[in-house]
Structure 1
Amino acid sequence: MNVIEETFSWLFAANTWSPTGEDLVSRSLEHLWYSSLAVAIAALIAIPSGWCIGHTKKFSGLIIGITGAARALPTLGLITLFGLLVGIGLVAPMIALVILAIPSILAGTYSGISAINPAVLDAARAQGLTTGQLIWRVHLPLGLSMLVGGLRSASIQVMSTAILAAYVGAGGLGRFIFLGINTQNTGMLLGTSVWIMVLVVVIDALFATAQRLATPVGVRMLGASRAATQRV
């Protein structure tokens, strides 16, 4: 049996999907839960920070510094470090995943706010809109697409990296990856990798749809008109 046959034989085996707590469905839900929680925590930190920086136009250089430095940090090294500090379990990988997710969300939020035409904001203020009204009626509709794009990038990065949670005793699909390595079970190792790629592609497609829907109709029509003009 070659590697491809071993991979799909494990992936489509009945015991791989049987509800035992160690099946692919349970571990996939656990993996999605870890990823969603990390992105949600990162969003609570990054979205207000990105909005403040984009709205005030101050400390914009900080965005470049933070995003560049954070993306350069080795996630496995962070998980190992936090694992030594707080012990095995979910806390250590969760901290590392949040740190991994923050730069993309922060950059997306900042870019969405700062890209709004200042004339639009001046017109909104001239009509007497308060800061809260400005957020909900101007910033959110016009910057939502790029914000969703930041969430999309963060989610893909976190989902791809969350397998390392199993390195310090947490669950998720990483359990199958490390078990496959330890037992030299190539089918389990590659089958889990293929399944993770499928999940990532599905999540990416969902976010791509959400990002398109978040783009104002007028902006979409303008983009389509410009594309048609360029083709002519």
Structure 2
Amino acid sequence: MTLLASAVPAADPSCYSRTVNEWWCEAYVSDYRQELVDATTQHLLITVAAIGLSIVIAFPLALLARRVRRLESAILGVSTALYTVPSLALFPLLVPFTGISATTVVIGLALYALTILVRSILDGLRSVPDEVRESARGLGYAPAGQLLRIELPLALPVMLAGLRVATVSTVALTTVGALVANGGLGNLIADGVRTDFKAELLAACLLCVAIAVLLDLAIVGLQRLTTPWTRTGVAA
């Protein structure tokens, strides 16, 4: 029995075991597939929800800043000041009102995105030539119709450029939600750093990059669909 047991080769340790702990480990991805899927899904949902909420807040603020010029500095100043608040302070400040939940992270990230979105929406609306506005009024467009049918389509390239920056930034900032246990892939990154789990850390980081790239490409595709006149090679 002893001879037989010694003849059987010992199994190689896993590439993510404590004795090996490699950076690239396909076995980890396979064994922890569901954990990675759940974290990626949460990360994506939090990012999209935060950007959506930020757009809902930023759009009326930009319209107000354009209509009432004396409020522009205050609106831009407040939105910029919010971005300077450290996430280590902002999320705990929200917890008494929203609890330790994904809502806390969504609200915090939406406030951070205002810095970029308010400015880009305002710049986009101001990029519309005055002659175009005058022509629209001459054709009988009401203010709401002029905004929706004339100004917004022409402002979209500038606005979507700002949305791309805000989205990629939010994908990165979502990881900070690990402070309240709702950071999506940030939870895995924090665990990987704490335990020196290299495979977990690398996989989570690569998935963050993948989310950012995919969302950026989605916005580029949206821009191409909604502003066909901006494509190069389109006949005049």
Q: TM-score, normalised by structure 1?
A: 0.82
Distance 1:182 1:201, change over 3 A: same
Q: 1:126 aligns with which of 138, 155, 159?
A: 138
Q: 1-side partners of 2:28 and 2:220: how far apart?
A: 29
Residue equivalent to 1:103: 115
* 1:165–1:172 CA contact under 8 A, matched in 2: yes
1:68: how far off?
A: 3.0
Please say if 1:82 is aligned against 2:94. yes
Runs of 4+ in 1 over 6 A off after TM superposition: 222-225
Deviation at 1:221, TM superposition (A): 5.6
**Alignment check: 8 A CA contact 1:145 1:214 kept:** no
1:7-60 CA deviation, whole Å, 9 max, x = no partner? 32158631132x3xxx21121111110111111111111112212323555533
**Structure 1 partner of 2:5:** none
Q: Aligned partners of 1:199, 1:148: CA distance in 2, in Å?
A: 18
Residue 124 of structure 1 deviates from its aligned partner by 0.8
Structure 1 unaligned segments of length 5 or more: list them.
Answer: 226-232
Amino acid at match of 1:16: Y
Give the percent of matched residue pairs that are identical in Structure 1 and Structure 2.
25
Shift of 1:115: 1.2
Distance in 2 of aligned mates of 1:66 and 1:11: 48
Q: 1:73 aligns with which of 61, 68, 85?
A: 85
Please, what is the CA RMSD of the aligned residues?
A: 2.8
Partner of 1:9: 25
Deviations along 1:149-169, one digit per CA (max 9) or x if unpaired, are 222222111111111112112
- Deviation by residue 1:191-223 (Cα, 9 ceiling, x = unmatched): 211221122122122223323444351x55699
Number of residues of Structure 1 aligned to a counterpart in Structure 2: 218
SS at match of 1:201: helix
Q: Please state if 1:54 is matched with 2:70.
A: no
Q: Normalising by structure 2, what TM-score?
A: 0.80
Q: Is residue 209 of structure 1 aligned with residue 221 of structure 2? A: yes
Do the aligned residues in 1 keep the contact of 2:76 with 2:115 (CA within 8 Å)?
no
